[in-house]
Structure 1
Amino acid sequence: MNKRHIACAACITAVVAAGIGAAPSTPQATVHRVQPGQSIQKAVDAARSGDTVLIAAGTYEQSVDITRSGITLRGDAAGRTVLEPPASPGTSACAEAGNGVCVTGTDKKPLKDVSVRSLTVRGFAKNGVWATGTENLKVRSVTAEKNGQWGIAAERSTRSVISHNVTRGNGDAGLFVANTVDTEEGARDAKKTVIRHNETAENRVGVIVRRLRNLSVDHNEATGNCAAVFVVGDESKPRAGHLSVSWNHVHANNKYCAATPRLPHLQGSGIILTGVEETRVAFNRVENNKGASPLSGGIVLFKSLVGMPSERNDVRDNLVTGNSPADLANRDTATTNTFSRNTCTLSEPAGMC
């Protein structure tokens, strides 16, 4: 190689090195650590997409409002990191509404990829965790207890994963998912939202799914509620349905809850379908749910509150025993629902076991 070639090679090496040096660097995710006595909200406000707000063990009298995508809010562990209502509810919009953790997006600009995990939310006047307008929300390993309305709730949300949580002693539902709570409209596509591996006990209702499509409720345990799983639809279009309720253990949901303007009293209700279509209820173990409500029984089909029948639902391969007044109860008016291969003792009408 002559001197000219050597000089040229050196130039190429310099240009490549300069190009490498000029390449933009990938932003690094940041962990924002919060200790007892510090503000969780300040850490959340400082976080950017991809960051984690890590809350040390302790009890925090605070509410937290997440309004930016890609944030992870994580405690040390449920039972060790505890959020309780602040003394002054005006500290944030979330606290003002009576909620513990709020994840707040909109239909036009949903919050994406937010995660809430490994903490306890206790004693809030309204909801423990409240999410609206989200996509790919994950709520995992959260204990939501003794909140006034819902333990963990989401509306206007798609592709949510609500898993491995404990909800107990909440005023209405332990787990609540819906199309919207403030407008009347047809069922929304939840886009494969999943509610799985949760434990729900001593609430009014363990799990409520209201006016949604394309969602699964599987591998949950519900006990000690007035009703375990309540799948709700009505006459609106699109109809609620195209859902799956499977592999759940539903037992002894025999707490008594008084009637409301919209519902009779509740007691001893396992899995209820009302006003929904094309829903599969399969491979569940439903035991010892006993009561005298029109909605009591192991697996119950019931027309909606406005008289809309449940249609083309498939109830099969369930173990349903020890429930009263019936293991399987078809109290609907439609003739298109099917019951097959269920193990049970008493059905209403007779002949379905």
Structure 2
Amino acid sequence: MTKRQMAYLACTAAVVASGLGAAAPSADHLTVHRVSPGESIQKAVNSARPGDTVLLSPGTYHESVSVTVSNLTLRGSDARSTVIVPNTADKSGTCAKAGNGICVTGTERKPVTGVTVSSLTLSGFAKQGLWASGTDRLTVRDVTSQKNGQWGIAQERSVRGVFRHNIVRNNGDAGLFVSNTVDTEEGARDAKGTVISHNLVSGNRIGVTVRRLRNLSVDHNEATGNCTAVFVVGDENKPRVGALSVDHNYVHGNNKYCAKTPRLPFLQGSGIVLTGAEDTRVTKNRVEDNVGNSPLSGGIVLFKSFVGAQNRNNVIRDNVVLRNGAADLANRDTGKGNSFRGNRCAVSQPAGMC
């Protein structure tokens, strides 16, 4: 081997070694913070850095947890064995004071990005099981959120959320709730592809509420035992709610009775309801055995919002809608451009849509 070849190999080895040395700290930086019952989840979250995982051992944890660091994973062992419930003796921290279980919060100018919450149960909180605001790409999966006072899993002022394979049941209002904002009046926001998919929602007042948002999908969920299964809610503000899809959901037996509120009449027997929506596609859902006498009762219902906003240019197509009362398909609105075609149903209001 010539001196020139030996020098070249030595130089190459030095470059490779230098590259390996630079990569090592990045890999070493990712830390798993293990927490056992009796230890503080919040303390582990506070010590975590972006990319870290907080891993919860099986057991019951009595606390609320606030997450404000990006790219953090908070994971239990599984939803049956890892349970977070309120600590009635400790209301320190904004999340606990608000009555929530887990809070993932950023700001609109500086959102918390890439957080994942998975494989745990949230139960018995006065307000929300999980509350998110100012997030980007939040993922909530394999979470059970139950018996909370208001919403099971809720998000506002956020984009690109993913809610998959969750069980959300017996919450005071909506099981899954996504909204533009909850404290201001404004037009619909672009959710930038938020996904609500493959969840089981049962025993809630409303299974899934989509309020004043655009560009998202509600697909392959099962909704049963709620007062209303899926509610797409708009109003007079612009942009309007819409440009979204509700497809391939199994919506059946949502016959729980819920008393009227200042904003809504009593609810019972409502499958998929659109109020004040535009350009929404309701396709290939199976909607069966939702029966009631509310103005919103029926399989798939278009209803003018209670502030007068009409549904426009929505497509209800290729759904199986059977044994719903007072009708399988109901257009109780005067908005223009709404289309019903290719649906399998028996009774419609007005007649002739089946």
TM-score, scaled to structure 2: 0.96
Q: Which residue of 2 aligns with 1:143?
A: 144
AA at the equivalent of 1:225: N
The match for 1:116 is 117
Q: Does 1:230 align with 2:231?
A: yes
- From the superposition, tell whether residues 18 and 275 of structure 1 become closer, same or farther in structure 2 (CA, over 3 Å): closer
CA separation in 2, counterparts of 1:350 and 1:155? Answer: 39
Verify the 8 A CA contact 2:311 2:336 in the aligned structure 1: no
2:160 and 2:192 in contact (8 A); partners too: yes
**Equivalent AA in structure 1 for residue 156 of structure 2:** E
Identical counterparts, % of pairs: 63
Alignment of 1:1-353 (within 5 A): 12=11, 16=15, 19-20=18-19, 23=22, 25-28=24-27, 29-353=30-354
Shift of the 87–162 alpha-carbon distance from structure 1 to 2, 3 Å rule, reads same
Deviation at 1:308, TM superposition (A): 1.0
The aligned amino acid for 1:158 is: V
Distance between the aligned counterparts of 1:176 and 1:343, measured in 2? 29
Letter of the 1:332 partner, please give it.
D
Q: Is the 8 A contact 1:270 1:298 kept in 2?
A: yes
The 1:137/1:5 distance shift into structure 2, 3 A limit, reads closer
| CA shift for structure 1 position 201 | 0.4
Q: Which runs of 4+ in 1 moved over 6 A?
A: none
Report the CA distance between 1:274 and its aligned residue.
0.2
Q: Secondary structure at the match of 1:23?
A: helix
| Secondary structure of 1:127's aligned partner | coil
Letter of the 2:57 counterpart:
A
Contact 1:89 1:98 in 2 (8 A): no
User: How far off is 1:302 after superposition?
Assistant: 0.4
Asked if 2 retains the 8 angstrom alpha-carbon contact of 1:187 and 1:211, the reply is yes
Structure 1: unaligned runs, 5 residues or longer: none
Q: CA separation of 1:36/1:325 partners in 2, compared to 1, >3 Å: closer, same or farther? A: same
Following the alignment from structure 2 to structure 1, what is the Cα–Cα distance between the partners of residues 53 and 146?
Answer: 24
1:352 and 1:9 map into 2 onto residues whose CA distance is 79
Listed as ranges, the gaps of 5+ residues in structure 2 are: none
Q: What's the offset of the Cα at 1:159?
A: 0.6
Give the deviation of 1:27 after TM superposition.
1.7
Q: Per the alignment, do residues 349 and 101 of structure 1 end up closer, same or farther by CA in structure 2, a change over 3 Å counting?
A: same
- In structure 2, the CA distance between the partners of 1:18 and 1:226, relative to structure 1 (3 Å rule), is closer
How far does the alpha carbon of each residue in 1:272-328 deviate from its partner, in whole angstroms, 9 at most, with x for none? 000010000000000010001000000000011111110000001000000000000
1:167/1:11 CA distance change after superposition, 3 Å: closer
Contact 1:231–1:272 at 8 Å: present in 2 too? yes
Distance 1:302 1:18, change over 3 A: closer
- Cα distance, 1:23–1:239 mapped onto 2, change above 3 Å: same
Aligned residue for 1:91, secondary structure, equals coil
Q: Secondary structure at the match of 1:235?
A: coil
Query: What CA distance in whole angstroms lies between the structure 2 residues aligned with 1:58 and 1:40?
Result: 12
> What amino acid sits opposite 1:255 in the alignment?
K
Q: Secondary structure at the match of 1:25?
A: helix
Q: Which deviations, in whole Å up to 9, do the C-alpha atoms of 1:243-273 show, x marking residues without a partner?
A: 1000000001000000000000000000000
Please state how far the C-alpha of 1:23 moved relative to its aligned partner: 3.5
CA spacing shift, 1:20–1:143, aligned 2, 3 Å: closer
1:8 shift after superposition: 5.4
What secondary structure sits across from 1:60 in the alignment?
strand
Contact 2:233 2:241 in 1 (8 A): yes
Q: Which moved more, 1:208-217 or 1:89-98?
A: 89-98
SS of the counterpart of 2:91? helix
Residue 162 of structure 1: CA displacement? 0.3
Cα distance, 1:90 vs. partner?
2.1
Give the distance between the partners of 1:314 and 1:20, measured in 2 at CA.
Answer: 56
> Residues 348 and 79 from structure 1, CA distance in 2 versus in 1: closer, same or farther, beyond 3 angstroms?
same
SS at structure 2 position matched to 1:53: strand
Separation (CA, whole Å) in 2 of partners of 1:339 and 1:6? 76
Deviation at 1:200, TM superposition (A): 0.4
What is the RMSD computed on CA atoms of the aligned residues?
A: 1.7
